[in-house]
Structure 1
């Protein structure tokens, strides 16, 4: 095996990793959309429930509010998984999201192609 062939195989491996991350991003976005639709449904139920009753602290209303908050948190987690996050109090070193990982792999792919040209 020549060095050139070795790096060509590396490029193929990087391309497969890109496809894996693209699939992961697609599935994560699909799950987030399902959660968002559930969130919209819960907000609608809460609105209808609030219009029917004037009580501020009914158990049903509190349960709906908890579910809404849970949906918001789930969407935030999925957004961070896709887009990453900068340095924050919660994540001091930041989080690299799928989009950043895809960018890094594409950059690596180009570096490998440039290196092969030099061989």
Structure 2
């Protein structure tokens, strides 16, 4: 088990490094969501990464991040979702039900809290 945790920590570090190459770390919350965050993953489950900021990412930037993440050596696909641009409240309720925060600042915490308030109300 310790070997598995080490691999997960290394993978998390690689993913964050790629994201922070394109987005200032002070401006965003990065989190794991989906089956891995809920500890219900199957071998075929992908790694779902959420990003929340005060403004949506440009589509070209999101594509660039996804392309770089494809180079990360893992047996799982990595999917990145810009939650700042999602309007579907049903998806948001399901996706944000259980998350594991990977990176957050006091400034970016407000963006995630505002998103949660939006879907609650």
**TM-score strictly above 0.5:** no
Greater percentage in strand: 2
Task: Identify the TM-score tier after normalising by the shorter chain.
Answer: under 0.3
What's the TM-score once normalised by structure 1's chain length? 0.28
Greater percentage in helix: 1
